[in-house]
Structure 1
């Protein structure tokens, strides 16, 4: 005879139930927030209507009527406002993505350097952190911009390196390959190489944890990526055409260029944020018990192997959450680029406000852009944090 199943537990809809009271309170809180937002939006719209102020996002379809000095995508002054905002978003992401990569590399190197056995290296790393993190970011942006636009020579007399790279008040000009099938296949090969390098690192780490045998975790993955890119380049016919800059009568022509505004923004954001990242890395390394390093030394691991294979993997659980905050700060601090004329999304928004008077709409667009980028960065770092967490056995 089969055992009788226990009756399903019915939800008790009573005010005495803590879960029911919590649900009601949450519904009331959400309703109150919706009511406040509706009241503010309605009151603002009514006041704007009474004063004859136009509102709405229809202006995004109108011609912008202004040029943008630095663009990543095709843009003309006759294009609509939405495309101008798209150009500003691309410029913001350009600074943020490159800045995050450089900040991670510099901050990690300086943070690890704080534990160097060389007193000079330790002192230089300490001085870097104390200097750059205690000077306001806006002052650093202005400082770099003034250095680039006042101290460098004119565009007609640039500083040249081997006749290939030119630096002047007009920016940094450098040669670039002429894009074709070979370059496209090389890029695809590099992407395939990154996947193979990731698979190798995972295999090498598993082998290390199982056998203790140390395999190449850096140089071999680098070789894999480069070899894959070279194979793609060869498959595309091995093109070797380059667009090389040259000094014309008064300016440098050809090649590709980085404007002084972009260089100043990138230097300011990277050097400032890297100082905080260095402290995050230092504190994460310091949180690892010293016994781990002593055990690694007893196994014959070198100091570099100890740091790379033992200390840093354990320190990641402490490093990643505050480093995420620094990445978010770097992205949001890029809005200060408007102070030196870099055409980011805030600069485009200010121009659109002056021309259309749609202040609320432009500010809402900027808020949505920064909210989306911040949430995307936070979500990606949270995923990496869960993946890097030490798993209990």
Structure 2
């Protein structure tokens, strides 16, 4: 693996705050790719859990309209390949968003355009906030999430939310009705029944498949190469072409993804399942 110490020989368009250029060693370029993978996977995972939980509970609604809307969401997203959804989000962002010189103003100092989503950011070097300002050609200052990043994050979160919704629905329905009725008989309020009885029992059922979805989301982020987002796979492919070390570069990528998957599995087995077992 001595080739990792050689100069990368290429620049990375989106470094997430890292200072890396073509003269940096290859291992630093791969590290930036890993950082970009985590930078898009973790927010997408949080969004998918929130959105999936909401859609899953909507599927249990006694009202027909929200239940049918949730069912349509799940069936549509589960039956479309993730790559197609990723390309759809990417081209929708490029087609529908205005040009950078006509950026949309979203709230306080937040701007959205074909150049990405710009928002205030704390500059640790100068010890002050940087605020985005629209200019004649683009929005400058602050931090910017590129359209490639936004497309990957949206695709991963919406696609995974469909599976999370089914997990939540099945977990809630797996709790015996008699157990809930017993709690009500003992004088528990509806809120206590939901949080003290239903939630921990449903969590015990939902935790393992949710962990699988988290692992799948991280692995699915490798499709980001299709829209030019410089994740681990994109950087690895560039390194492969630059160095000609195909087997070594692929081995590095496989090792990293295996480590991420094992790490998430360990986290769920040792941490996330503990509250359910303790509460039960």
Q: TM class by shorter-chain length?
A: over 0.9
Q: Distance in 2 between matches of 1:243 and 1:63?
A: 32
Kept after mapping to 2: 8 A contact 1:352/1:362: yes
Q: Please report how far the alpha carbon of residue 312 of structure 1 lies from its aligned counterpart in structure 2 after TM superposition.
A: 1.7
Aligned to 1:301: 189
Q: CA deviation at 1:257?
A: 0.6
Question: What residue ranges of structure 2 are gaps of 5+ in the alignment?
Answer: none
Task: Give the equivalent residue in structure 2 for 1:107.
Answer: 52
Query: Which residue among 48, 59, 71 is the counterpart of 1:126?
Result: 71
Q: Deviations over 1:97-148 (max 9, x none)?
A: 2222222211122212222233322222222111111111000000000011
Q: Does 1:70 align with 2:14?
A: yes
Name which one, 1 or 2, has greater alpha-carbon Rg. 1
Superposed, which structure 2 residues align to 1:273-352 within 5 Å? 273-298=160-185, 299-302=187-190, 304-352=191-239
Asked whether the 8 Å contact 2:200–2:279 carries over to 1, the reply is no
Q: CA offsets, 1:193-246, max 9 Å, x none?
A: xxxxxxxxxxxxxxxxxxxxxxxxxxxxxxxxxxxxxxxxxxxxxxxx532111
Q: 1:179 to 1:115 in 2, by over 3 A?
A: same
Please give the root-mean-square deviation of Cα atoms over the aligned residues, in Å.
Answer: 2.1
Alignment partner of 1:70: what SS?
Answer: coil
Match of 2:101, SS?
coil
Residue 318 to residue 177, structure 1, CA distance change in 2 (3 Å): same
C-alpha separation in 2, matches of 1:343 and 1:279: 31
1:37-52 paired onto structure 2 within 5 Å: none
**3-state SS of 1:156 partner:** helix
Give the distance between the partners of 1:259 and 1:385, measured in 2 at CA: 32
**1:61 alignment partner in structure 2:** 5
Give the number of aligned pairs.
Answer: 278
CA distance in 1, matches of 2:275, 2:263: 18
- In the alignment, what sits opposite 2:275? 388
Asked if 1:172 corresponds to 2:117, the answer is yes
Structure 2 counterparts to residues 1-393 of structure 1, below 5 A? 57-72=1-16, 73-162=18-107, 164-179=109-124, 242-298=129-185, 299-302=187-190, 304-384=191-271, 386-390=273-277
Q: Is the 8 A contact 1:63 1:80 kept in 2?
A: yes
- The 2-side partners of 1:167 and 1:99 are apart by 19
Aligned equivalents of 1:293, 1:80: Cα separation in 2? 59
Q: Structure 1: which 5+ residue stretches go unaligned?
A: 1-56, 184-240
- CA deviation vs aligned residue, 1:175-210 (integer Å, no higher than 9, x gap): 1244489x9xxxxxxxxxxxxxxxxxxxxxxxxxxx
CA 1:117–1:180 in structure 2 vs 1: closer, same or farther (change >3 Å)? farther
Query: CA deviation digits over 1:333-355, x for unaligned, max 9?
Result: 00000011010010001111111
